Amino acid sequence: MTLASTLKNASLTTIAPVVFYAAAGIAFLTLLPLAGFPPHVGLTGVVSLITAYALFTKRRWATWLVVILFFVATTLSLYTLYFIILSNWLGSLGLIVYAVLTWYFTYYTLLKRIP
């Protein structure tokens, strides 16, 4: 199946998680040099991009990656948020949005998973 036909047949509700995980992966890989190359940021970015691919191609193992990213993203964002909440309001807001969107798309993906 080609990319054009897949996008034409897909609805917004099936494309939204793909776009979220792809954007999160690109954002993490973009922030990697700015943060001093911590391995957990790079690994989270790569796993997010793989998850976006798996959701787009409807792989059965996509659900496992979504669950793994749920725990990693929750730990990463809440731990970082604990230390920067009062010093960096823009960063705190970004982490809160990232955590909430991760929880929402995890919930959505687990409800719509392939049986």
Task: Render each residue's pLDDT in the chain as its tens digit; 115 residues.
Answer: 565 555 566 677 789 999 999 999 999 999 999 989 999 999 999 999 999 999 999 898 999 999 999 999 999 999 999 998 889 899 899 999 999 999 999 999 999 875 4
Q: 97-112: string of b/e by CB count within 10 Å (b at 16+)? A: ebbebbeebbebbeee
Q: 57-66: string of b/e by CB count within 10 Å (b at 16+)? A: eeeeebbebb
Q: How far is CA 15 from CA 22, 43, 56, 99, in A?
A: 11, 23, 7, 19
Provide the domain limits for residue 25.
Answer: 11-111
Q: Would 31 be classed as within a structural domain?
A: yes
Q: Would 3 be classed as within a structural domain?
A: no
Q: Would 32 be classed as within a structural domain?
A: yes
